[in-house]
Amino acid sequence: MEDSAIIELYFARDEQGLTESMKKYGSYCRTIALNVLGDKNDAEETVNDAYFAAWNKIPPENPLCLRAFLGKITRNLSLSRHRDKTRGKRGGGEVNAVYDELENMIAEEEDVSAALEKKELSAAVNRFLHSIDGRDCDIFLARYYFMYKTSEIALKFGLSDAHVRTVLSRKRNELKDFLTKEGLM
């Protein structure tokens, strides 16, 4: 079923929209949640929560890309659940490894100027991603957005794990240089 037809079901408040979403994007959403959480049961619960959130958001929202919409909801809920479960301790999923790799570029502050800097940083990272080779961009996103393990990325792209780690290291260094030139580091 086409995304537009599924979204029409949501707007009609027809629960078949949920069923069709699960059929079409269930595996995709479970992969995102499992990569973040590292636990199958938590991932399943989070995916169910994501469908519930989508049901509550559509309408009034009318997503242009249902896959991205569901993926973003799933990722955000997964990160929130991970944060709640690991508050005060380390462990679980790929989240900590990803944060450790990027910690030199991300500072946490809780004020208005920090919020503006985060917005500028987000825009700069998007510009950086648009400036790099398509495959390298896909590898970078697979690791730092979808939180795949480097071995999974290697398998997906037909590369060695060492090659993937090298690409990621180079792109992190390029991102750091890019952000420095942009005055954000």
| Under 8 Å between Cβ of 1 and 67 | no
Tens-digit pLDDT profile for residues 51-88: 999 999 999 999 999 999 999 999 999 988 888 887 65
Residue 125 is predicted with a pLDDT of 87
Rounded Cα distance between 59 and 53, Å, is: 11
Say which CATH number the domain at 79 has: 1.10.1740.10
Asked if pLDDT for residue 108 goes beyond 60, the answer is no
Residue 109 is predicted with a pLDDT of 46
End of a domain among 53, 86, 119? 86
Asked if pLDDT for residue 130 goes beyond 70, the answer is yes
Q: What would the two tokens of residue 84 be?
A: 């709640």
| Residue 38 falls in which region: left (phi positive, over 0), alpha (psi -120 to 50) or beta | left
End of a domain among 42, 65, 86? 86
| Under 8 Å between Cβ of 5 and 11 | no
pLDDT (average), residues 115-140: 85
Name the phi and psi angles at 51, rounded to 5: -65, -40
The mean predicted confidence, pLDDT, of the chain is: 86
Are 101 and 170 part of one and the same domain?
yes
Q: What would the two tokens of residue 49 be?
A: 């929560």
| Under 8 Å between Cβ of 111 and 127 | no
Name the residue range of residue 20's domain. 3-86
pTM of this prediction? Answer: 0.66
